[in-house]
Chain A
Amino acid sequence: MANMSNMSERAGGSLTAWALREGFYAGAVSLGLFVLFVGLETTQNIRNELVLNRRLGLLGIFVIVAAVGRFLTVAYLRPWAAARKAAAAAKPAEGEEGFSKRNFSKIAIVFLLLYPLIAISIFGVQGSLKWVDNLGIQILIYVMLAWGLNIVVGLAGLLDLGYVAFYAVGAYSYALLSQHFGLSFWVLLPLAGILAAFWGMILGFPVLRLKGDYLAIVTLAFGEIIRLVLINWTEVTKGTFGVSGIPKVSVFGIWSFDVSAANNFAKAFGLPMSSAYYKIFLFYLILALALLTAYVTIRLRRMPIGRTWEAMREDEIACRSLGINTVTTKLTAFSIGAMFGGFAGSFFAVRQGFVSPESFVFLESAIILAIVVLGGMGSLVGIAVAAVVMIGGTELLREMQFLKRVFGPDFTPELYRMLIFGLAMVVVMVWKPRGFVGSREPTAFLRERKVVSGSFTKEGHG
């Protein structure tokens, strides 16, 4: 506290004068910088002559923004930041976390369970479609994929850039097997998981001896190989045309969502016909699948295999000297991670009703990996938050039509998706280099729990 009062005494009136001076300098510098670049513009007139236009208004805006910005930074922003820092330093880390922070995941699950109902009550049955399908299901698919990849990258520390391959295997397994053999989703879901896990093993074998960058390159190639096979094996996969007319999922075979079916869901309950019920069912389905992924991850972390994965991420040689077979450990990590990718893939196929190789490009792998890294490797909550920010954020961009009024009618906000994506990554990595939740939660709980920030500890050798 003494610090703060000292500072405000010293500040007083002189601060404003100083800030004004700083603002004036900033304005003068920007005037000098921009007078030629912004203040003057050369164009051609009708007779193809070069003419000089003066844009004093725009130049004025630039100078004013610089001057006012500098003034505000010096006069208000900096003292505010310093005061905050001093306050944080004066108050030692609080022992008891707030109620909402402690029960964050429980509150989030309850909210997600109620989410479709909230959407319906606010926007009506038809209006809720956009919120449940475009936003809710889309985010949850990525949450599930990122949680699946987290097993490979976050826990076992194996950098996998081709995760989307397993997503594709799951999607095509469901699409093709349901069309050719008429099997239902509930039979094919586990089968798609097993097939993806099998492919995870196939990827695992050749890369057992690789680490870090080398592993990343091979997995990247593996992802591309799967995609190219899907494109070129036209007799089976129909190539770039994709597989369409993939059957819908039923409520465990009791109710169907096909309009013509006798046991149609809406008919059975005497509700008006709407596709919203199907979407809401899909929402709960992906929610259940995602929660299954989280549950399995949490359980595995407390079992010997999960602990071994984490130890292998830290130090592979030490693991071997403790009698751990790193071959089987890596293969289980790859196959279990791939299995969840396969589950998510078959859900994706059932939701779209159409799959094509275009959905499984490298960018998808990169986005999933970005979510895992941004969320904080290994942290389920952090990853879920990152998925909401990244996927929800880009979906919301589509809604920001008011931006057109600012930047002109040609402006399409969703085209700036990748720009914002990249910017967000840079900001998060600067601000929190280990992701949103950087500290690793111990798996063995002792009487007293001390959380030491992960930033104090050394990274394992890549």
Chain B
Amino acid sequence: MSDTLLSVQSVETYYGNIRALAGVNIDVKKGEIVSLIGANGAGKSTLMMTICGSPQARAGTVTFDGEDITRLPTHLIARRRIAQSPEGRRIFPRMTVYENLQMGASLDNLKYFNEDVEKIYTLFPRLKERQAQRGGTLSGGEQQMLSIGRALMARPKLLLLDEPSLGLAPLIVTQIFDAIKALNQEQGLTVFLVEQNAFAALKRSNRAYVMVNGQVTMSGSGKELLANPEVRAAYLEGGRH
């Protein structure tokens, strides 16, 4: 299919001798929001990292926009316009919000910085209020906004989000997911996200995959999976916020 942006084909990733991914197949089409849900240790974050080339897949291929990126170093993968908001946010704590956003725009050497930074500030007005403040002094939700904002500054074709709701209050989670949805609908941004908060993720996703022990066990549209009794039992009942 020509509109497939990211294609992960029977990828296996190892940490030493331990197999973390056991032949994963995932497709993300242009303009979609695709989410990957699963329990702790299922290999969700490993898949995210494998797409970014750190660690690299031992078997299988990762194709982005028709190009095989399996063996590229991380920074070259990022230059193909795959931006990531990594797990644990990983903002630069001693640099200001503004400088963090500048770092996000380093791919184009700040060429579009001024126009892009205004877009980020409209999306997350909180960041504008805090622009002179150091990243490390922000609250968790603000740091997550900054992490997503920094990733967006790179003008990505594909945005990878690793647990954007981790450790955040439900209200902030809603705010962040709504912002992601808006980006997707208004600018056609393709988003692939890994989430533990299955309800919030499935509700807003076009399609979703369920991962168990390094393998994809189920896939379907967000609504289908939300209605699926197995998914409900494993990830939603009692866990719904």
A-side interface residues toward B, CB under 8 Å? 304, 307-308, 310-311, 314-315, 317-326, 440, 442-444, 446, 448-450, 452, 454, 456-460
Contact = CB atoms under 8 A, between A and B. Distances in A.
B131 to A, nearest CB: 6
Given A315-B92, A321-B74, A325-B75, A307 B102 contact: yes
A141 B86 CA distance: 43
- The residue among B52, B75, B102, B154 with the most chain A CB atoms within 10 A of its own CB is B75
Contact of A323 (B92, B99, B133, B154): B154
Given A317-B54, A318-B92, A450-B132, A444 B106 contact: no
Nearest to A310: B95
A303 to B, nearest CB: 10
Given A307-B99, A311-B103, 8 more contacts: A317-B90, A318-B92, A320-B78, A440-B134, A444-B96, A450-B133, A456-B136, A460-B94
Given A307-B99, A452-B133, A322 B104 contact: yes
A387 B81 CA distance: 45
| Interface majority SS (helix, strand, loop, mixed), chain B | mixed
B123 interface: no
14 contacts: A310-B95, A314-B92, A314-B93, A314-B94, A318-B91, A320-B54, A320-B78, A323-B75, A326-B75, A442-B132, A448-B132, A457-B93, A458-B93, A460-B93
A456 B137 contact: yes
A138 to B, nearest CB: 32
A320 B94 contact: no
Nearest to A456: B137
A324 B136 contact: no
Contacts of A444: 96, 98-99, 102
B153 to A, nearest CB: 9
B150 interface: yes
Contacts of A311: 92, 95, 103
B45 interface: no
Interface in B72-98: 73-76, 78-79, 83-84, 86, 90-96, 98
Contacts of A318: 86, 90-92
Contacts of B150: 322
Nearest to B147: A318
B86 A317 contact: yes
Nearest to B105: A322
Interface in B8-49: none
**Nearest 5 pairs between A and B by C-beta?**
A457-B136, A323-B78, A314-B92, A318-B90, A320-B74
A457 B78 contact: no
A323 B155 CA distance: 12
A315 B93 CA distance: 9
Contacts, number: 102
Interface string B50-77: 0010100000000000000000011110
A208 to B, nearest CB: 12
Given A304-B110, A314-B93, A323 B79 contact: yes
B109 interface: yes
B94 A457 contact: yes
A307 B109 CA distance: 12
| Interface majority SS (helix, strand, loop, mixed), chain A | loop
Contacts of A319: 103
B212 interface: no
Nearest to A457: B136
B125 to A, nearest CB: 16
B107 interface: yes
A459 B137 CA distance: 12
Contacts of A458: 93, 136
A440 B136 CA distance: 12
Given A320-B78, A322-B154, A448-B132, A315 B90 contact: yes
Contacts of B91: 315, 318
A433 to B, nearest CB: 14
Contact of A446 (B52, B83, B131, B135): B131
A315 B136 CA distance: 12
B90 to A, nearest CB: 4
Contacts of A442: 95-96, 98-99, 132
- The residue among A318, A322, A459 with the most chain B CB atoms within 10 A of its own CB is A322
Contacts of A456: 134, 136-137
B106 A323 contact: yes
B111 to A, nearest CB: 11
- The residue among B84, B102, B107, B136 with the most chain A CB atoms within 10 A of its own CB is B136
Nearest to B78: A323
Nearest to B131: A446
A9 to B, nearest CB: 39
A323 B137 CA distance: 25
Contacts of A452: 133-134, 137
A317 B54 CA distance: 9
A315 B76 CA distance: 18
Contacts of B52: 321
B137 A457 contact: yes
B109 A304 contact: yes
Contacts of A457: 93-94, 134-137
